[in-house]
Structure 1
Amino acid sequence: MFTGIVTAVGTIDSVEDRADRRVRITCPFDPEAIDMGASIACSGVCLTVVERGGNPGDAWFAVDVSGETVSRSVPEMWQEGRRLNLEPALRLGDELGGHLVTGHVDTCGTVQMARTEGGSTRLAIRAPAEYAAFIAPKGSITVDGVSLTVNDVDDRADGSCDFVLNIIPHTAEVTTLGSLTQGDSVNLEIDVLARYLKRMQSLQN
């Protein structure tokens, strides 16, 4: 489990196609603190560490990305030079600063608007109709691994919705969200509580 509180931004420095896709990610972690077999959320995708190396502050780790994961996440995500939001898995006793995040991407959204308002960035992201019912004002959502609060939701005639987020300067600086522009795709994970509520409602109908 994760909280959606990003601890670092890493960069993909190599991609090797095997049975799965072996991706190596550079990061400012201490390699001795990266356990083999540990889970790290990479822009919202929970992946398992299979290799590690480097030096403190200039480390790297490798993960195997399955075809299913590639198909569920942003298409252009798994390529050299891509910057990723990183969060190691929760440990017992860690502070729960965001909301409970599983690291399982539900769908991809598309940025409809990215503009500066005051010192913050205002984003509008379109979610497909299949997931629109799970997104509510003042509810939680994970965008590229970042826990955020939905400000507003605009339902569309085709069943999709545009939801609005406010990205404060700190979040924009320490994650990749500050560089998003109109037309960019992002990984979305809906709030796990909303998922269970929707399931319960479906069984009552």
Structure 2
Amino acid sequence: MFTGIIQALGHIAMSEPRGGDRRLIVEAAALGLDDVREGDSIAVAGVCLTALDVTAATFAADVSVETLEHTTLGALQVGDTVNLEKALRLSDRLGGHLVSGHVDGLATVVAVHDDARSQRWTFEVPAALARYIAAKGSVCLDGVSLTVNEVDGTRFGVNLIPHTQAVTTFGARRAGDRVNLEVDLMARYAERLASIPADTRD
């Protein structure tokens, strides 16, 4: 479990095919890996991965075919920058919202406009995911917890303050780019609960 508050930026040091899936090595010295053990979870661009071969500056992760098909991780190149967050501890501040690191799909950047010192971003999502996005609700984009400003069909808008632009990969994103999208956990469970007949909920 994560919060969507990015702790550091990392870089892809290696990306190679392994028996049909892919192994990444992430340079993550800025994250501080002294308390990370093999098997711990780290969110990379919003995707929960299991840290392997942990060193003082890097960790490896095996990325399954399922994850490659539903996220942007398969398109990452050596040198690409990624948002990083360690798994939430029960004693940590929950500054964003509860994020699982299980990506639901991809969102596409439609437009970016300056709004005083902030920026207004518009994203488009597949119709199947749009129903989970609500104004003033939360979304997680490339691992970043953001508040939805408005929703219009399959498009929604968010506001990025200067700090978020500076400490995440959004500073390098442009219209047409795709990002990993995780909808709010509560929206998924609410839909599931609503789909169960009332007489079978006991």
- Stretch moving more, 182-191 or 72-81: 72-81
TM-score (norm 1): 0.91
1:158 counterpart residue number: none
2:5 counterpart residue number: 5
- Structure 2: gaps spanning 5 or more residues: none
Of 135, 146, 150 in structure 1, the residue corresponding to residue 148 of structure 2 is: 150
1:182 counterpart residue number: 175
The amino acid across from 1:21 in the alignment is R
2:122 counterpart residue number: 124
Alignment of 1:14-163 (within 5 A): 14-19=14-19, 20-27=21-28, 28-54=30-56, 59-74=57-72, 77-155=75-153, 161-163=154-156
TM-score (norm 2): 0.92
Is 1:200 matched up with 2:202?
no
- Structure 1: gaps spanning 5 or more residues: 156-160
- Stretch moving more, 184-193 or 195-204: 195-204
1:18 CA displacement: 1.1
SS in structure 1 at match of 2:175: coil
The amino acid across from 2:23 in the alignment is R
Matched pairs, number: 196
Percent of aligned pairs with the same residue?
A: 48
Is 1:165 matched up with 2:158?
yes
The amino acid across from 2:131 in the alignment is A
